[in-house]
Structure 1
Amino acid sequence: MGILDIVFRCLAVYVFMIVAIRLTGKKELSQLNTGDVVLILLISNAVQNAMVGPDTSLLGGLVAAGVLFLLNFLLKNFLFKNERFRNLINQKPEILIHHGNLDFAALSRLKITNEELQEAMREHGVERYRDVRLAMLEIDGNISIISNVDGMKQSVYRRKHPHKRLDIS
């Protein structure tokens, strides 16, 4: 088993995982619960042998990790440069509340519970649905809310992970 075999195995697993994540929906990316963490750990354990096969050497592991980092770097660059592919991989933002009116069809399709929506509203300091000018499920799986309340700061509800910041100096 050579290094090239590890490269092809990693590529196959990476593509499978990208497709699987795309099919499960964007909401799942930002809202990890205990079951999700267990699933991620089990998947990583399950695909480890598929990527390196019988090669459990340090070199085999480093090659697999390097290939995964390279694939992720290439995917992000390709997504940045190619709008058609970006639209295929990324989902579109979804309106959940517009001028206090809930879009029950969208909430049902996206499997967003009343409790999750109210939690996002509380994080933004909004108590009632009628005080929400716009609530959206963003492409990263977070819920952003713009309030009708005067003096209320507009904010984005970030769940579980901070947003990356650009350091422009």
Structure 2
Amino acid sequence: MKQDEILLSDLTRIFFGQTPPIFLLEVVARALLFFVLIILAMRLVGRRVASQYTLIELSAAIALAGTIGVPLLDDKRGLLPPLLIVGGIVAVQHLLGFLSVHNRRLDRLFTGRASVALDDGRLDLSSLQSTALSREKLFSLLRGRGVQQLGQLSRVYIEPSGALTLVWSDTPRAGLAIVPENDSELRAAMRDDRYRVCTRCGQLEAPAFDARCRACDARQWAPASVALED
């Protein structure tokens, strides 16, 4: 379209584009068709897609969205090619599922492995770095699960889908507080001066310990904290 053909007063072009208004009815029909198709495809791909995505399942969902987007609004694109692509995506997903069940190595290759983000109240910084999960994001997710300080936990696993699995400690101890720093009243109530913790990884030490952290080599210490009863 030439520049002199673009007019702000041309409401027909702005709202309907260059297609006749009757095409809007076809757009509605296409949208309904693809809506039903997506529901069927998701059911065929597997129930896990509706809850937590693995890398393979997320790739399948993105491919479905990219396939359907263009022919939905373009009157020059037929519906058969995207239908064939959707069928191919579903078939590949089922093939990968079949191979994963019969080959553990392929399953790990396709879905990844769970990694340990926290071990006995101490953060595994290398694991966080490899999964591109920041401390603050992890703390935010833990607070949402009711955690006040890291000593409450025995393990935290980062699942291949990105979800967190928490293993609560049978014998909670003092640890690094993860409540927001601006909540000074709660932090003061949780303070336990019998121990100190590394503010980088949560390593627990005696109150007089002032050397470098044995776990992460940092030298930033703070009083430990205990969880308050509900």
Deviation at 1:69, TM superposition (A): 1.1
Equivalent position amino acid for 1:75 in 2 = L
Is 2:134 aligned against 1:116? no
Compared CA separation, residues 48 and 67, structure 1 to 2 (3 A)? farther
Aligned to 1:90: 111
Q: Does the Cα contact within 8 Å between 1:126 and 1:147 map onto a contact in 2?
A: no
Q: 2:86 aligns with which of 59, 65, 76?
A: 65
Aligned counterparts of 2:80 and 2:102: Cα–Cα separation in 1: 33
Aligned counterparts of 1:146 and 1:83: Cα–Cα separation in 2: 25
Q: Which runs of 5+ in 2 are unaligned?
A: 1-52, 172-230
Q: Does the Cα contact within 8 Å between 2:54 and 2:111 map onto a contact in 1?
A: no
Aligned to 1:147: 168
Q: Larger helix proportion, structure 1 or 2?
A: 1
Deviation at 1:91, TM superposition (A): 1.6
Aligned to 2:98: 77
| Alignment deviations for residues 56-88 of structure 1 (CA, whole Å, 9 cap, x no partner) | 322222111111111111111211122121122
The structure with the larger Rg is 2
Give the share of equivalent positions with the same residue, in percent: 21
- Kindly report the root-mean-square deviation, in angstroms, between the aligned alpha carbons of the 2 structures: 3.3
Deviation at 1:97, TM superposition (A): 0.6
Which 4+ runs in 1 deviate beyond 4 A? Answer: none
Equivalent position amino acid for 1:134 in 2 = R
Compared CA separation, residues 76 and 143, structure 1 to 2 (3 A)? same
Relative contact order (alpha carbons < 8 A, sep ≥ 6): 1 or 2 greater?
A: 1
Deviation at 1:112, TM superposition (A): 1.1
- SS of 2:157's partner is strand
Q: Taking structure 2 as the reference length, what is the TM-score of the superposition?
A: 0.41
Deviation at 1:125, TM superposition (A): 1.1
Q: Which runs of 5+ in 1 are unaligned?
A: 1-26, 33-39, 50-54, 151-169
Q: Does the Cα contact within 8 Å between 2:152 and 2:168 map onto a contact in 1?
A: yes
Aligned counterparts of 2:70 and 2:105: Cα–Cα separation in 1: 31
Aligned counterparts of 1:128 and 1:111: Cα–Cα separation in 2: 22
Equivalent position amino acid for 1:127 in 2 = Q
